[in-house]
Structure 1
Amino acid sequence: MPAGSSKKRERQYEHIKEGAEKRGASEKRAKEIAARTVNKERARSGEARTSSKTSTEDPKSSYQRGGQRSHRGSQGPTRDQLYEEAKKRNVEGRSSMNKQQLREALGR
């Protein structure tokens, strides 16, 4: 945490870091996630001396968004999951199908 941080931001940093570690992030990655999140919140509330345009103009806070950006490219079920469903439904030719073909065969 930067020098002169408030006690609230210190607690926030620790809470986010511990949560990230519980979810399996390395200590280094957990620290990075916590620092970025707290710094963005500091920028949005006017506590930071300098801040990027995206930090101050994002309409949703980090907590409201809940990691939505990190899941932006989500493609739904994996090919293996689709394959298992096709297997249960006895779809013919499933072993040679790619993900898109499996989706189509399952009507997704």
Structure 2
Amino acid sequence: MPRGSNAKRERQYEHIKDSAEKRGESDKRAKEIAARTVNKERARAGESRTASRTSTEDISSSRRGGLRSHSGSEGPTRDQLYNEARQRNVKGRSTMTKAQLSKALGH
């Protein structure tokens, strides 16, 4: 846990670390992800002495994660559709767009 943190940031660190481990990240990588995320949030909130420009001006980690978590509403990715088309032996799949693959598969 980064030095100078409060109880909220410690809880946040543990939550992020646990989530990363559940996704299959190694313990070392999970700790790195959690520390970087918490440090960025501290910088954005003005809780750290120094902060990089990307930490304060870039999209926040929590917002980025939230945007990604709703990606299922757009349906499967083009690569997922392509793999399904390959399994079904759809002709011309390599040159198809996402919309064309979706139509060919009946999605």
Q: Where does structure 2 lack aligned partners over 5 or more consecutive residues?
A: 69-76, 102-107
Please, what TM-score do these two structures have when normalized by structure 2? 0.70
Match status 1:107 vs 2:100? yes
CA deviation string 1:10-49 (max 9, x = no partner):
1110110001101111101100110110000000000111
> Where does structure 1 lack aligned partners over 5 or more consecutive residues?
none
Q: Which has the higher helix share?
A: 2
Q: Which stretches of structure 1, 4 residues or more, deviate above 4 A after TM superposition? A: none
Q: Partner amino acid for 1:20?
A: A
Q: What SS does the corresponding residue of 1:48 show, helix, strand or coil?
A: coil
Does the Cα contact within 8 Å between 2:2 and 2:35 map onto a contact in 1?
no
Identity, % of aligned pairs? Answer: 59
Aligned residues between the structures: 93
What is the identity, as a one-letter code, of the residue corresponding to 1:100? S
Q: Within 5 Å, give how 1:1-108 maps onto structure 2.
A: 1-58=1-58, 60-66=59-65, 76-77=79-80, 79-84=82-87, 86-87=88-89, 91=90, 94=91, 100-101=94-95, 103=96, 107-108=100-101
Larger Cα Rg: Structure 1 or Structure 2? 1
Alignment RMSD (CA, Å) = 2.7
Alpha-carbon contact 2:40-2:55 (below 8 Å) kept? yes
Q: Would the alpha carbon gap of residues 9 and 63 (structure 1) be closer, same or farther in structure 2, given more than 3 Å must change?
A: same
Distance 1:39 1:75 in 2: 34
Question: Letter of the aligned partner of 2:6 in structure 1?
Answer: S
Q: CA deviation at 1:79?
A: 4.6
